[in-house]
Amino acid sequence: MSGCPFHASAPPAPPPPSAARFDLAEELRFLEEIHEQPALSLRLAECRAAHAASRPAPLDSAELRHAARVAWRNHSRCIGRLHWRSLEVRDHRHLDDAEQMAASLREHLALAQNDGAVRSIMTVFAPPDRPGGPAPRIVNHQLCAYAGYRAADGSVLGDPKNVRLTALALELGWRPPTERGRFDLLPWIIAGRDGAPRLFPLPPGFVREVPLRHPEHAWFEKLGLRWYAVPAISDRVFRAAGTDFPAAPFNGWYMGTEIGARNLADRDRYDQLPVIAEKLGLDRRRPRSLWQDRALVELNVAVLHSFEAEGVKLVDHHAASAEFMKFLEREQKSGREVSARWDWIIPPLSPATTEVFHTPMREFALSPDFHAREPDATPGCPF
Ligand code: ARG
């Protein structure tokens, strides 16, 4: 996107090396932002003492919750940030054992699915107990995801995005359904503080999914497409007040285009546009018949229609754009500049019909935030 006037991108600050001390200056800044005297002096003193002993920031649960909400508010790629104050935070920093984490994650997902009325939740597990020390982690990129099985001829059954994770799960002893399918839910792979990856298959029927159908085309349902209700990112590091939390999964709800214009449409994902165009009787010989564009619209109609009919919360890209504009306005009123990546904020379907497309944006580093995990340094850990 270089040269694009709407996307002046500065790369976010690199994460500090994992052996770094907990960052005192960042901790103090965070506490100064949220406390007033006399409480502030006390918290600063407690924080300095923890730092001197190389312990993580002693945030209380209310401070942790605020940090998580601000991390969402700061996240430059997210169009849904108007709702940052509604994030619920489960303070599970006392958990560092894989078995207990899996039990907590089952609760997380059940609360988030909420019978279709999806709620935004984050669960924070134990951070390293000393700088650079081992911490628990969830290997899966998301709590819900479909297996991708690579065959000998190179073709993939299922979601090609998850080929590596699927291979790892199989290596660890996962038993997939006897008849492998395109939408087999992957088990969780969790490593506690001991670094040993363990497998946790999901109870059948536990993950809420939506079978896709089209309001006008009866054949659509026969394509057998479906998607899960809750996107729950589980492999990002939550950085709050100078401490990294490598296991802090969080979820929001879907925007329709994530499923309809990317997951099911991208050529290196489920690649469904040719099949849909064929059913629609479109001329696939020439791109300028716009068969891809027309198939894309019908696929997105089906996603929006199916989630709505099933009573599962999902936002369309027009509503999401309007909400983001409201977020920008509110933040401006609060005296804060918003960091945003234009190429992530604009929807992949009909972007220029939404106001965000016509809005210049700038990205800069902020904290608290979420960042990508570094390659693992825990001895004995294979990932
Ligand atoms: N784009 C990802 C997916 O399709 C999910 C990313 C988070 N999305 C969200 N609406 N919170 O699975």
Q: What is the pLDDT of residues 320-333, one digit of tens each?
A: 999 999 999 999 99
> Is there a cis peptide before residue 12, judged by omega within 30 degrees of 0?
no
- Does residue 11 register a pLDDT over 60? no
Confidence of residue 13 (pLDDT cuts 50, 70, 90): low
Look at ligand 1, atom 1, and give the residue with the nearest C-alpha: 258
Establish whether 258 is a catalytic residue. Answer: yes
Cβ-proximal residues to 292 (8 Å cutoff; 6+ apart), any chain? 273, 277
Largest separation between any pair of C-alpha atoms in the chain: 72
The string of DSSP letters for 142-164 reads BSS-B-EEEPTTS-EEE-GGGHH
**What pLDDT is stored for residue 186 in this prediction?**
98
Residue 233, CA distances (Å) to 105, 148, 372 in order: 12, 18, 11
Q: For a substitution probing ligand 1, which of 81, 254, 307, 370 has the most ligand atoms within 8 Å of its CB? A: 254
- Does residue 3 register a pLDDT over 50? no
User: Is ligand 1 within 6 A of the CB of residue 254?
Assistant: yes
Q: Which residue has the higher pLDDT, 24 or 4?
A: 24
Establish whether 253 is a catalytic residue. Answer: yes
Strands 250-251 vs 232-233: parallel, antiparallel or unpaired: antiparallel
**What pLDDT is stored for residue 56 in this prediction?**
81
Q: What is the pLDDT of residues 369-380, one digit of tens each?
A: 999 987 654 444
C-alpha 364 – ligand 1 centre gap (Å): 22
Q: What is the pLDDT of residues 265-322, one digit of tens each?
A: 999 999 999 999 999 999 999 999 999 999 999 999 999 999 999 999 999 999 999 9
User: Is ligand 1 within 6 A of the CB of residue 140?
Assistant: no
Q: What is the pLDDT of residues 119-142, one digit of tens each?
A: 999 999 999 988 788 999 999 999
**What pLDDT is stored for residue 382 in this prediction?**
47
Look at ligand 1, atom 5, and give the residue with the nearest C-alpha: 231
Return the closest-CA partner of residue 235 out of 78, 381, 373: 373
Q: What is the atom index within ligand 1 of the atom nearest the CA of 145?
A: 12
Mean pLDDT of 135-150: 98
**What pLDDT is stored for residue 132 in this prediction?**
81
What is the number of other CB atoms lying within 10 angstroms of the CB of residue 335?
6
C-alpha 230 – ligand 1 centre gap (Å): 8
Angle at 207 between CA 259 and CA 229, to 5 degrees: 30
Task: Confirm if 318 and 353 have CB atoms less than 8 A apart.
Answer: yes
Percentage of the chain lying above the pLDDT 90 cut = 82
Mean pLDDT of 177-185: 98
Identify the weakest region by mean pLDDT among 125-129, 131-135, 168-172, 244-248. Answer: 131-135
Catalytic residue among 174, 188, 253, 342: 253
**What pLDDT is stored for residue 2 in this prediction?**
44
Angle at 162 between CA 157 and CA 164, to 5 degrees: 105
C-alpha 251 – ligand 1 centre gap (Å): 8
Structure tokens given for 347: 């929807």
**What pLDDT is stored for residue 296 in this prediction?**
98
> Is there a cis peptide before residue 368, judged by omega within 30 degrees of 0?
yes
Mean pLDDT of 91-105: 98
Catalytic residue among 27, 63, 258, 298: 258
Mean of the per-residue pLDDT values of the chain? 92
Identify the weakest region by mean pLDDT among 101-105, 354-358, 364-368. Answer: 364-368
User: Is ligand 1 within 6 A of the CB of residue 303?
Assistant: no
- Report the run of H or E that residue 8 belongs to, with start and end: strand 7-9
User: Is ligand 1 within 6 A of the CB of residue 258?
Assistant: yes
User: Is ligand 1 within 6 A of the CB of residue 282?
Assistant: no
C-alpha 354 – ligand 1 centre gap (Å): 19
